[in-house]
Structures are given as structure tokens and as C-alpha cells.
Structure 1
Amino acid sequence: MQKNPQKTLTRFIGLQAMGNLTARKDTALLKKLLQGTREADQEALVAGLELLSDSDLRSSFADLSCPCLSLFGQFDTLVPLQTKLNMQALVPNIETQLFENSSHSLFISESELFCKRVIAFICG
């Protein structure tokens, strides 16, 4: 990342959409949404990646007592579908939704369904 931050960002954006039918469109939209924004602080990005790599919050999920919704993309290469099953084992009353035409950026790929599902959960 430190050698070529722009290339790293481009690759990460590609990972967000990889595998679904609308990957090119989703990637283009993510890039467009980032246009004109400030470049992210490199130290903060590295720290964030390290946090993701080093953190295991499964025991914290098992202690949740509030309503919980977890959304998953069928083609997500960053969060595999096995995670959905693991979450259900940790938090038996968790609500989950599988977005069948999405990868990691399901809020882009299936934005209407995403919004409906989140609103339905909040309004309960």
C-alpha cells in the first residue's frame, strides 16, 4: 500500500464487487463515489487493515443481547458465506439476509433490497 496507494485502492475497490454479475458497473460506481474526495491518510489505512487482520470479535458477538442483523453477499470474496453460518451459531437469534446477486458491496449491487431490508429490521 505504501508504494502505490492508488493501485491498492483500485484493487480493493475491485474486491468489493468481484464475482457478481454487475461487478464492472459496481466498481465504476464505487470509483465515481470516491472522485473528488480527499486522499485517505496512509497511516490510518494501514492501521485499519492491521486492526481487521488482528481482531477476533467472535466472543463479543456471542454476548450480544440486542437485535442483530447481518447481511451477506453470495459472491463475497472478503467475507465468505461460512461466516453466515458461524454468526448464526454464535448468536442463534440473529437475523441474516443473503443477497444472491451481490458480493461485498451489496449496498451498491442490490441497493433497493438492501434499503428495504435494513428499514424493515429497524422498524421491526
Structure 2
Amino acid sequence: MHINSIGQGPDLVLVHGWSMHSGVWQPLVDLLVKHFRCHLVDLPGHGQSDWHEGDFELSTLLAKLAEALPEKAIWLGWSLGGQVSLAMAKHYPDNLKKLIMLASNPRFVQTDDWPCAMAPEVFDTFSASLADDQQQTLQRFIMLQAKGANQPRQVIKQLSEQLAQQHEPEPDALQAGLKCLAEWDLRDALATVNCPTQIIMAENDHLIPLSLAEYALTLQPKLRIDVMPGLGHAPFISQPQQCQLVIEQFIHE
């Protein structure tokens, strides 16, 4: 697994979302490296990380991350990366000093008892389109992430450029990542997390509804929840300085 470590200071692990790679963090990392040692993870089959069948099996993935990354680090995960980071907090609690879930949901797809997530029919339609046309589906996903942002064209441009800078993710890795989003239920991990935890939400996120805040707090009353106004699913691209401020306030409190 490819991990790029840069900067000086306390260890900060950054885990990207579905279909992207660690380069997507660049606007935010340029600010964070002044204060932290940033460890930028490429998930299996994404960016510069190789893909092998079974790499997204949760126990396998977490074991590789635990082996490659420092203990007592702060973990920052975006979307799918937030779920990975939350799972680390459950299975390797000594590895996390603090946990930050950015535009992320412990249960990505709705169930009867978890309505604060993506509708199953929307997810299924999106998932089916990946097999038909991967390139078009990735572009559609970029549009979804930019929707609701105060500068959607900027978000589309930066995400598209980041996607183009690396080889496209392995098709099997994309399918495996979608399977994780469809099936992972990490609500018990959130309920039992034993390190300080923050969820950063975006007001106009079309993938993670604001109603998540209420449901998440019922699971974990000690949560810190911050809502960034006027932004979509990738707030760290639209407003990296504002996002840095929200992150560092939590880290230093």
C-alpha cells in the first residue's frame, strides 16, 4: 500500500474517499503540513497502490494500515475513508489519538432504522452504471460531489484533474469499494469509539444528509459535530482554509 509521509509535527493520517486517491487532499495538505506529519494513504487499487483480490476485506485492509502507519495518530477520513478510519478506531483503538470523519456516515445506505443516508434505489442505480461505463460513472460521481458547493465548477475542475493525474482506479477495486459502502454498518463502532471523535458535515452535501447529526449523537453523545455552511461533499476543496480551521480547533481542544 502506497503511503506518502510529509511535513513535521504530530502524526495525521488522511484517508481519501471512493474512486479518488491521496492527491485529492492537496489544497488542505498544503496547509496542514505546516503543523503536522501527514501520512497520505492510497487505498488498494487507487493512486499508486496495487490491487489484489480481497484487499477491501475489512480485516485485511485494517491489518495492512495498522502495520504501515504510526500508533497514536490522528485519523482524518473523507467519505469511504471516514468509514475506514472509524473501523480502525474499533479494531485498533491504540492506533488512534483522535478521529475525524469528514462528510462520512457510519452506514452509507439507508435502512429502516437508519434513514439518514443515501436511498437504496439511488445507490443501486449508481452501482449498476459503473459496470456499464466506468468513465462516465466516475464523472457523474464528481458532479454529485460538487453539487451544493458554493463554487461547483472549481470542485469539478479539481476533482477531474486529480482523477486524471493518476491511472484510473482498478475496476475491481471500484466495485469492491461500492460493496463496502453498500454493506458496511459501523454504527456499533461509533457507539463504542473511545477516542475523541468529530464529524464534519457540509450543509449542502447531497450524499450525507444533515439529519445524520441527530442520529449520530444518539449513538455517541460525546461526538463533536461541525457543519460547514454553503458547501457540498468535498468541503476541503471548496474551502480548504475554513476546513483546516475546523479540523485544528478539534485537534487542539
| SS in structure 1 at match of 2:165 | coil
Code of the residue aligned with 2:239 in structure 1: it is E
Please report how far the alpha carbon of residue 95 of structure 1 lies from its aligned counterpart in structure 2 after TM superposition. Answer: 0.7
Deviation at 1:3, TM superposition (A): 2.2
List runs of 5+ in structure 1 lacking aligned partners: none
Q: How does 1:81-100 map to 2 (within 5 A)?
A: 81-100=210-229
Larger RCO, structure (CA 8 Å, separation 6 or more): 1
Offset, 1:37 = 0.6
Q: State the alpha-carbon separation in 1 of the partners of residues 205 and 211 from structure 2.
A: 11
Q: Which has the higher strand share?
A: 2
Find the counterpart in structure 2 of residue 33 from structure 1.
162
Equivalent residue for 2:241, pick from 109, 112, 117? 112
Aligned residues: percent identity? Answer: 31
User: Deviation digits for residues 48-67 of structure 1, max 9, x if unmatched?
Assistant: 10111111111211011210
Larger fraction in helix = 1
Alignment-mate amino acid for residue 135 of structure 2: Q
Counterpart contact for 2:145–2:205, Cα < 8 Å: yes
Secondary structure of 1:31's aligned partner? helix
**Aligned residue pairs: how many?**
124
Shift of 1:6: 0.7
Provide the TM-score with structure 1 as the length reference.
Answer: 0.93
Q: Partner letter of residue 184 of structure 2?
A: S
Displacement of 1:40 in angstroms is 0.4
Pairs within 5 Å for 1:14-93: 14-93=143-222
Q: Give the stretch that moved more between structures: 62-71 or 84-93.
A: 84-93
Q: Tell me, which stretches of 5 or more residues in structure 2 are unaligned?
A: 1-129
For 1:23 and 1:85, locate their aligned partners in 2 and report how far apart those are by CA, in whole Å. Answer: 27
1:101 and 2:230 are equivalent in the alignment: yes
Q: CA deviation at 1:111?
A: 1.1
Provide runs of 4+ in structure 1 moved above 3 Å.
none
**In structure 1, how many angstroms separate the alpha carbons of the residues matched to 2:231 and 2:217?**
20
Mapped contact 2:148–2:230 kept (Cα < 8 A): no
CA distance in 2, matches of 1:68, 1:103: 21
Question: TM-score scaled to structure 2, two decimals?
Answer: 0.47
Residue type at the aligned position of 2:250: F
State the SS of the aligned residue for 1:70: strand
Q: Structure 1: how far apart are the matches of 2:141 and 2:214?
A: 25
3-state SS of paired residue (1:9): helix
Kindly provide the amino acid, as one letter, of the partner of residue 7 in structure 1. Answer: Q
